[in-house]
Amino acid sequence: MSRSEYHERTESDADSDWHARPLETVYAKLETSEEGVTSTEARERLEREGPNEVEASEGTSPLWILVEQYSSALIWVLIVAAIVMAGVGHTVDAAVIAGIVVFITLFGFVQDYRAEQSIQALKEMSTTYALVRRGGEKTEIDTKRVVPGDVIFVESGDIVPADARIVDESNLSVDEAALTGESVAVSKEVGTVEEDVALAERENMLFKETVVQRGSGTAVVVETGPKSEIGQIATALEEAEDRETPFQAEMGRLGKIIAGVVILAVAIIAVAELVVGETEPLQVFLTAVGIAVSAVPEGLPAVVTLSLALGARRMADQNALVRRLPIVEALGSVDVICTDKTGTLTEEEMTVQRIVTNREVYEVTGTGYDTDGEFLQDDEPVDEERVAEVLRCGLLCNNVDIGTRERTENRGAGNGDDGTHDAESGEQERTYLGDPTEIALFVAAQKAGFDHEELDEEYPRRGEVEFTSTRKRMTTVHETPGGDPVAYMKGAPETVLERCEREFVDGEIVELTDERRAELEARNENFAEDALRVMGFAYRPDVAADQVDDPDEGLERDMVFLGLQGMLDPPRPEVTDALAGCLSAGIDVVMITGDNAVTARAVGEEVGLRSTTVITGPELEEMNDEELAAGVEDVDVFARTSPEHKTRILQTLQAKGHTVAMTGDGVNDAPAVKNADVGVAMGIRGTDVTEQASDIVLLDDNFATIRDAVKGGRRIFDNVRKFVNYLLSGNGGEVTMVFTGSMLGFGLVITPIQILFINVVTDGIPALSMGVDPPAGDIMERDPRPPDEGVITDRIVTSIVGIAIFMTVCLLPLFTLNFYGELVPGYDVLGAITGWSPSYEPGRELAQTMVFTGFVVFEIVRIQAIRYRYGLGIFTNRWLVVAVAVAVTLQFLVLYTPTGQFLFDVEPLALVHWIQIGVSASVFALLMAVFVKVQDRYFERY
């Protein structure tokens, strides 16, 4: 069903006419009011209506995961082999092969199921929040807990949490493309519309999952979850997209290459076995099967996906929520991080410390959001009236509210079993709701004794010209106690000053002279040099009547300058070390901020940026693309920038070949975040739109978390590369050993059943445990991985070939010594040198047992040899220790139990045999050590 067909059906059959009813009727039907529902009523409605979420895909069912394990052609080859074996009377071999098939499929099922569960858990952790009024008080809650009757507040950048009827709005326009397909934003207004109007024309309604493009508004929720318009579409259409990760694609390509090589090798071995070795056709067939299964890593994609998913879960525990698993690959290649300043490098708890007004400078005491403080001049307290006007402006031209917020340990994770917050047990905390800069102004006014509720009643707001990153200012219109309109403005000092012709001094309005402008600009520079963020304030007492109810930018002229407020947002204590860690890892850090150049440089110096060369937004606009490209790599600070500047900086860095991580929070940051190689959204102060455009959400808005995310990404990539190297080199050794034995006329040097056992037990279990290896000690001291470098490097290719040869060179003597009783057939070299002759009966079964066990020991040695290159000791991964212990235990059960000996055609080994294997393994380890030294001369370390 198409979207238009769906709308035709639902619009004709719908029995909800919320858009056509008077607001009083809407409130009555919902049994709510302008104050919203109470917390008790909200809990009852949540139980009755269910969570406010669209029925999402539950992922792949366990049954389907199990069925998919049998989609591999190699599994069916084994099944056919078991059937053939049973048909010719080899029932024991058939039973063993069938048992191994079951084990392989169950093992694969467990891996895939755990990966699926981890991916679903990550999806549940991606939580958004809504600002609602409950019982007359503003509260920030998980959007899943929004219920019909809630009064919600939305502003630019928010994703609408539910279908709602608009109660109040200011310049509100909404992008409804996700619902209606219309690319042009829809202007919204209060009122009623005709009952039969199309969905796209219901201008008094907000719809779930649409995006507020500009303005702000208040609305009462009428439908939630599957009953919302978008929910009904989702229920009717149910589309799911399965995307293959880059790792899976690379493994798929690798599998095809190996499959081609295996077919050729099997053909050659078959001819050699039949012609040279005169082996029975059935054994030739089973050898071919064993080689195919051991050579092609059919379980590798599942191991990769599971490692990515588990690694992403660990990163989420460190406040970095990975929204898309493939991004882990890009994390390892990031060599430039473009970061915001406020809240990311700094504490985001601003405090007003200095005020300029009435042509004087005043100090403000107190820190953070504590409302206790004094106003000083020359260290002496002054009357709050001296700063009252500029503080009143900062409080009225302000959208902060005091309300409540759900107290959670981690803003990204839910407390309930379903990933939502438990309405019964969720604690509430009193907090300021709004922008940190506005909160600082709010608190400063409270220090002077202003009460925001009383001031709002005394000066009720009549209109607003909203702040945007382009305008860099905000203006509100109010009604004075005398009934006259007045406008208040705040914004960047230069932006405010250029709109002022007058100044307020000691209760009088005087001319703002050029000399006075220069003094104020100098004062702004001095504040900025002390790392203060400075805002300018102005008002206009003579607002025209037509500007009250319909304010626009024409209102912002001939303003009266009130003063400056300088606020400090101290750097986070952990940022300096985190930034130094990035620089040592070969990652450049670029700070992009809206602050002026002086403040930006001061903060850059304080946190330890390598260069404090600054380019401002206006300077950036004057540069052509060639000029920017020539100098962009030498600049660590961009100041007075807009979101459009962010995108241009990003594109220039990418054109220079860099892999860039870009942070953002505002809705206008979304294009830069989306187009970055790794888009990073702020989870606390970020808008929903930016979160949806991002690859990673920082649940704590902390730069150190970006550093930890890069480290986590490198760790995951290292682990994937380690077990890929391990699996492929081991498989290559098996193929080479069987191929060489066949070419030399030795026949089967190892049986197919033994190969399958090695493939499942010795390879599979330890490889999985290597996925949780700890990070290498130098993981953040290496340069970033080139973006075009895959998992399989030239070094790993040479390792696969070299290890395969070394395994064969070291294992063939074990075979010949125990098959013929001498190292070289026809001449007892060992006996001639030592006078020793074997006290056991040589033969094929013993020789195959030695090769079989030798492979198991060699694989264990190989594991630690790979990990040693990363500086990891034997006991640094307890899961790997357990996995190796399990593999060794199972090998001993095969060798020393009658059942194991019967099923796998092996003989128990004596001490002398273990000594031989030990000597062979030592030679193998020595050859690997020498080979690594040779590789170090031609390849990068890893």
Strands in 678-682's sheet, in edge-to-edge order, are 320-322, 696-698, 678-682, 660-664, 336-339, 588-592, 637-639, 614-616
Q: How far is CA 119 from the centre of its chain?
A: 12
Which residues does 61 contact at the CB level (< 8 Å), separation at least 6?
Answer: none
Residues paired with residue 433 on neighbouring β-strands, in sequence order: 401
Q: What angle do CA 367, 371, 374 make, to 5 degrees?
A: 75
Element (H, E) at 601: helix 597-607
Residue 364, classed as helix, strand or coil, is strand
Q: Residue 340 catalytic?
A: yes
Listed residue (80, 98, 69) closest to 301, CA to CA: 69
Choose among 171, 167, 158: nearest CA to 221.
167
Long-range contacts of 310-315 (CB under 8 A, 24+ apart): 310/114, 310/115, 310/118, 310/771, 310/772, 311/712, 311/713, 311/715, 311/716, 311/719, 311/771, 312/118, 312/122, 312/716, 313/118, 313/121, 313/122, 314/712, 315/708, 315/709, 315/712, 315/713
Angle at which helices 436-447 and 388-396 cross, to 10° = 140
> Which one of the listed residues 158, 340, 595, 763 is annotated catalytic?
340
* Cα–Cα distance list, 90 to 293, 723, 846 (Å): 20, 35, 20
Q: Rounded to an integer, what is the distance from CA 845 to the centroid of its chain?
A: 53
Is-contact 795 939, C-beta < 8 A?
yes
How many other C-beta atoms can be found within 10 angstroms of the C-beta atom of residue 896?
Answer: 12
Distance linking the first and last C-alpha atoms of the chain: 52
Distances (CA, A) of 423 to 45, 52, 147: 11, 13, 12
Beta bridge partners of 504: 509
Residue 939 per-residue DSSP state: S
Q: Return the bridge partners of 508, or none.
A: 505
Which residues pair with residue 533 across a beta bridge? 567
Question: 163: how many CB neighbours lie within 10 A of its CB?
Answer: 28
Distance CA 346, CA 344 (A): 5
∠ CA 319-320-321, nearest 5°, is 110
Euclidean distance between CA atoms 320 and 699, whole angstroms: 6
Label the pairing between strands 205-206 and 508-511: unpaired
d(CA 423, CA 37): 14
- 783 contact partners, CB below 8 Å, separation of at least 6: 335, 585, 586
Name the residue with tokens 């922008």.
Answer: 435
Residue for token pair 């002390």: 530
DSSP 8-state symbol, 375: E
CA distance 649 to 624: 12
Cα 871 to Cα 779: distance, rounded to the nearest angstrom:
10
CA 206 to chain centre: 29
Catalytic residues: 340
